């Protein structure tokens, strides 16, 4: 797929991948073997009928193609961009055994982008069931659950704490990977399905889950994600110039600090930026920093082989000039007289034997510390769920260490009528796995609600 | 509360200083110091803010303590008056100190009188009331207080906390660090309390004044000062608006 050239794109926040032309899409679609038992569908967490929509592309029935995707996936423009297809649908593709798998993600994106510039397909909803559902969090899990539930005929209220919908798609994933206009379009689609979207409403503070149930909601879905930043807990971490990945990305993406002073929220970025971490969030921070004009070094405590980030993202970042330093971790930060970070001391690490899950641990090498000058540090070592709902919902079974809400396979929590899915129930994971969880929970919630009279009728 | 004034604007944290559930109103006071607060000052009655999210943060601890000293400084006089009123309603004997730079910055004096048993006005330059906070030293030596609540500039909260510490008076300060989301996501509002990092938005805004690292708080407050000034200057240049103070 055509991309912006590295030396060009590192100067702007425009989308890196430019998308297929119609000709390219048709050529790629023609490679699909239309298997009898398609493994690509099995690999997709929301089971999109992939060969069917690819066939629609071949017939140039783009509206039919997008409608096919939307039977299973309410956010194709997002998934076509940020899903790790190489580990999901494309992993099972028969063509991939001997060569390159069909590029399913790019075809999905082609259809979604086609729809954005053509007619919009709004599916029919089932007749009203008389049941009311509260969905908390307008991120991937919540948007998916809300879309599925409203289509099943339930009255859905979607509560979002921030002033825009999309959750991590808006505040976390950068513009150059996922343009915010697309996220806005996907949220708008869910609204057009009939979901009542309430922005600026932090459940757990303004209302609690028990209050929602008392207010007559028949069921509640919690999809509040993992928004609480983790810190290193080393001395000097509260100096100026040390951002959590969340702070950095919220400033840059959600509040558009790259446009300051045109936008109101600033970001101060120095000349020597160090990003701590090795996941997709760390890559997003590093690539954003480069676009703000900084030289960036990524410090990861394991080695390159253990980097948890998507391969495509690592390659993109390296093409753009990212320098990585492996097997080191910060132990202390030092500041200047104004309280701004100026130096960082790191310890060298060594890998230990793999644990039961096959993941290698690390331990510091004695007397290996070294210091280096820095003026901006971005700590991207993970996020855990925000605790507001967990703290205000009595009887909700929560892992006390991580704040993760415990659920069964269909998203059921320990409280009747209360479901959860996405990062809040798994810890930080992918957009599509959150969508899959939203989908499964929506199905279970539908069955639960239809098995009993609506609250509205009872009161 | 987090407020966004206009489309595309920043998210600013403001402290609630009153509400009327019958009328469905919430009030807050702000000082026109930066771009957004200056912009808020231009709003006419009936105009809408883009977004108001709240109340966020933990509720204040209002109970019957006995004798309560409430100190409000600068723009935080407004929420201090509310605290005094609620403390009085909870059966406390309330002494309310209003601290201001000079006479022209003093406001809500009548409300203060109606909300407490005793009001003491203090100004930095002595243009009204007593000069400075030195009087507190004597007062604390002579009188017994069961609780102290301070809302105001960091230097003031630090000073009062230092004064109450020798007497072991539980002292609650309200921190107003930089915030963006205001709901525990960004961590820009980190405050060291007793050596542990807390989030102003989620764990606060009230903390034990004897445990807060005020020096760190001041430094963190100032990290974006050049950018804030630039933003404000550009706004002035574009709109040419008047300076002043406003209550909303």
Which residues, including other chains, have CB under 8 Å from residue B62's CB and lie 6 or more apart? Answer: B83, B86, B87, B89, B90
Taking contacts as CB-CB distances below 8 angstroms, the residues of chain B near A227 are 183-185
**Does residue B242 have a pLDDT over 70?**
no
Partner A contacted by B90 (CB < 8 A): no
* pLDDT, averaged across chain B: 91
- Write out B104-149 in H/E/C secondary structure: HHCCCHHHHHHHCCEEEEEECCCCCCEECCCHHHHHHHHCCCCEEE
Which of A109, A224, A251 has the alpha carbon at shortest distance from A167?
A224
Q: How many Cα neighbours within 13 Å face the side chain of A18?
A: 10
Size of interface A-B (CB pairs under 8 A): 113
pLDDT at B248: 39
Partner A contacted by B227 (CB < 8 A): yes
Mean pLDDT of B98-102: 94
Nearest CB neighbour to B223, from listed A233, A250, A268: A268
**Is B50 within 8 Å of A339 when comparing Cβ atoms?**
no
Residue B148: strand pairing partners: B69, B171
**Is A266 within 8 Å of B228 when comparing Cβ atoms?**
yes
Residues of chain A where predicted confidence (pLDDT) is lower than 70? 457-459
Distance from the Cα of A336 to chain B's closest Cα (Å) equals 11
Q: B246 or A275, which is more confident?
A: A275
Which of A222, A117, A244, A112 has the alpha carbon at shortest distance from A161?
A222
C-alpha–C-alpha distance, residues A61 and A458, integer Å:
47
C-alpha–C-alpha distance, residues B121 and B127, integer Å:
10
| pLDDT tens digits along B13-55 | 998 999 898 998 999 899 888 889 998 989 998 899 999 998 9
Mean pLDDT of B82-110: 94
Partner A contacted by B36 (CB < 8 A): yes
Nearest C-alpha in A relative to B59: A205
pLDDT at A355: 83
Q: Give the best residue of A237, A238, A253, A391 to mutate against chain B (max B CB count within 10 A).
A: A238
Mean pLDDT of B244-248: 44
C-alpha–C-alpha distance, residues A137 and A160, integer Å:
5
Tokens in use for A213? 């149930």
* SS3 call for A445: helix
**Is B219 within 8 Å of A338 when comparing Cβ atoms?**
yes
pLDDT at A82: 85
Which residues, including other chains, have CB under 8 Å from residue A126's CB and lie 6 or more apart? Answer: A151, A152, A153
If one counts every other C-beta atom within 10 angstroms of the C-beta of residue A210, the result is 16
pLDDT at B240: 60
Give how far the C-alpha of residue A55 lies from the chain's centroid of Cα atoms, to the nearest Å: 29
| pLDDT tens digits along B60-95 | 999 999 999 999 999 999 999 999 999 999 999 999
What kind and span of H or E run contains A177?
Answer: none
Partner B contacted by A247 (CB < 8 A): yes
C-alpha–C-alpha distance, residues A123 and A121, integer Å:
6
* SS3 call for B38: helix
Taking contacts as CB-CB distances below 8 angstroms, the residues of chain B near A263 are 8, 10
Q: Which residues of B155-167 are buried (b: 16+ CB within 10 A; e: fewer)?
A: ebbbbbbebbeee
User: Cis (ω within 30 of 0) for the bond into A261?
Assistant: yes
Q: Give the best residue of A162, A241, A264 to mutate against chain B (max B CB count within 10 A).
A: A264
**Is A206 within 8 Å of B54 when comparing Cβ atoms?**
yes
pLDDT at A277: 96
Distance from the Cα of A244 to chain B's closest Cα (Å) equals 7
């397909």: which residue's tokens? A121
pLDDT at A74: 85
User: Cis (ω within 30 of 0) for the bond into A205?
Assistant: no
Q: Where in chain B is the domain with CATH 3.40.50.80?
A: 67-221
Tokens in use for B29? 């006071």
Which residues, including other chains, have CB under 8 Å from residue A403's CB and lie 6 or more apart? Answer: A228, A384, A385, A386, A387, A390
pLDDT at B245: 45
Nearest C-alpha in B relative to A201: B53
Mean pLDDT of B169-193: 95
Give how far the C-alpha of residue A160 lies from the chain's centroid of Cα atoms, to the nearest Å: 16
Nearest C-alpha in A relative to B215: A339
pTM for this predicted structure: 0.91
* SS3 call for B55: coil
Domains located in chain A, CATH noted:
6-117 (1.10.1060.10), 132-227+384-458 (3.50.50.60), 231-381 (3.50.50.60)
Partner B contacted by A34 (CB < 8 A): no
CATH class entry, domain B67-221: alpha beta
Model confidence at B247, in pLDDT bands (50, 70, 90)?
A: very low
Q: What share of chain A is helix, strand, coil (3-state, %, to 5)?
A: 35, 20, 45
Taking contacts as CB-CB distances below 8 angstroms, the residues of chain B near A386 are 183-185, 202
C-alpha–C-alpha distance, residues B78 and B101, integer Å:
15
ipTM: 0.89
């Amino acid at each position: 797929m055509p991309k912006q050239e590295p030396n060009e794109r590192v100067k702007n926040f425009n989308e890196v991948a430019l998308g297929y032309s119609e000709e390219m899409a048709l050529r790629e679609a023609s490679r699909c073997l239309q298997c009898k038992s398609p493994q690509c569908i099995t690999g997709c967490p929301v089971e999109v009928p992939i060969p069917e929509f690819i066939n629609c592309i071949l017939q140039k029935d783009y509206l039919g193609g997008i409608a096919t995707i939307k039977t299973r996936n309410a956010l194709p423009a997002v998934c076509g961009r940020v899903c790790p297809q190489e580990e999901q649908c494309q992993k099972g593709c028969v063509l991939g055994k001997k060569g390159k798998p069909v590029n399913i993600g790019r075809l999905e994106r082609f259809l979604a982008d086609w729809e954005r510039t053509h007619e919009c397909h709004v599916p029919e909803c089932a007749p009203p069931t008389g049941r009311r559902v509260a969905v908390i969090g307008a991120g991937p899990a919540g948007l998916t659950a809300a879309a599925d539930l409203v289509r099943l005929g339930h009255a859905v209220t979607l509560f979002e704490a921030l002033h825009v919908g999309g959750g991590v798609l808006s505040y976390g994933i950068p513009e150059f990977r996922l343009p915010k206009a697309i996220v806005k379009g996907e949220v708008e689609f869910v609204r057009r399905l009939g979901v009542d979207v309430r922005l600026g409403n932090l459940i757990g503070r303004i209302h609690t889950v028990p209050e929602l149930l008392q207010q007559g909601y028949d069921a509640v879905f919690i999809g509040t994600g993992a928004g609480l930043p983790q810190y290193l807990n080393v001395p000097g971490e509260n100096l100026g110039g040390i951002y959590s990945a969340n702070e950095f990305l919220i400033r840059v993406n959600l509040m558009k600090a790259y446009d300051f002073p045109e936008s109101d929220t600033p970001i101060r970025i120095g000349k020597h930026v160090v990003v701590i971490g090795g996941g997709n969030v760390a890559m997003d921070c590093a690539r954003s920093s480069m676009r703000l004009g900084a030289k960036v070094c990524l410090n990861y405590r394991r080695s390159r082989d253990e980097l948890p980030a998507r391969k495509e993202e690592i390659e993109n970042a390296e093409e753009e000039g990212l320098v990585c330093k492996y097997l080191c971790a910060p132990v202390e930060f030092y500041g200047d007289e104004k309280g701004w970070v100026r130096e960082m001391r790191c310890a060298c690490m060594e890998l230990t034997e793999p644990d039961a899950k096959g993941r290698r641990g690390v331990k510091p090498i004695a007397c290996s510390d070294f210091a280096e000058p820095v003026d901006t540090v971005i700590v991207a070592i993970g996020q855990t769920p925000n605790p507001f709902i967990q703290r205000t919902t009595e009887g909700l079974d929560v892992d006390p260490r991580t704040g993760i809400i415990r659920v069964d396979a269909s998203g059921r929590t320990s409280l009747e009528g209360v479901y959860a899915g996405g990062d809040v129930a798994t810890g930080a994971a992918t957009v599509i796995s959150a969508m899959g969880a939203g989908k499964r929970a929506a199905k279970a919630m539908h069955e639960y609600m239809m098995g009993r009279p609506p609250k509205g009728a009872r009161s | 509360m987090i407020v966004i004034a206009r489309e595309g604007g920043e998210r600013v944290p403001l402290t609630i200083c009153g509400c009327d559930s019958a009328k469905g109103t919430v009030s807050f006071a702000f000082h026109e110091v930066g771009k957004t607060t200056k912009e808020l000052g231009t709003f006419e009655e009936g105009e809408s803010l883009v977004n108001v999210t709240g109340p966020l943060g933990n509720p204040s601890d209002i109970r019957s303590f006995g004798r309560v000293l409430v100190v409000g400084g600068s723009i935080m006089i407004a929420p201090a008056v509310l605290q005094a009123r609620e403390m009085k309603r909870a059966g406390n004997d309330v002494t309310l100190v209003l601290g201001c730079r000079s006479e022209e910055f003093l406001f809500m004096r009548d409300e203060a009188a109606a909300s407490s048993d005793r009001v003491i006005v203090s100004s930095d330059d002595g243009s009204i009331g007593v000069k400075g906070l030195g009087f507190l030293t004597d007062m604390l030596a002579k009188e017994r207080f069961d609780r102290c609540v301070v809302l105001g500039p960091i230097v003031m909260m630090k000073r009062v906390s230092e004064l109450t510490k020798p007497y072991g008076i539980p002292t609650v300060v309200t921190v107003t660090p930089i915030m963006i989301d205001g709901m525990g996501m960004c961590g820009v509002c980190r405050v060291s309390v007793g050596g542990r990092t807390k989030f102003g938005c989620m764990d606060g805004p009230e903390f034990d004044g004897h445990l807060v690292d005020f020096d760190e708080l001041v430094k963190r407050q100032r990290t974006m000062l050049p950018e804030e000034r630039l933003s404000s200057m550009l706004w002035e240049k574009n709109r040419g608006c008047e300076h002043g103070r406003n209550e909303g």
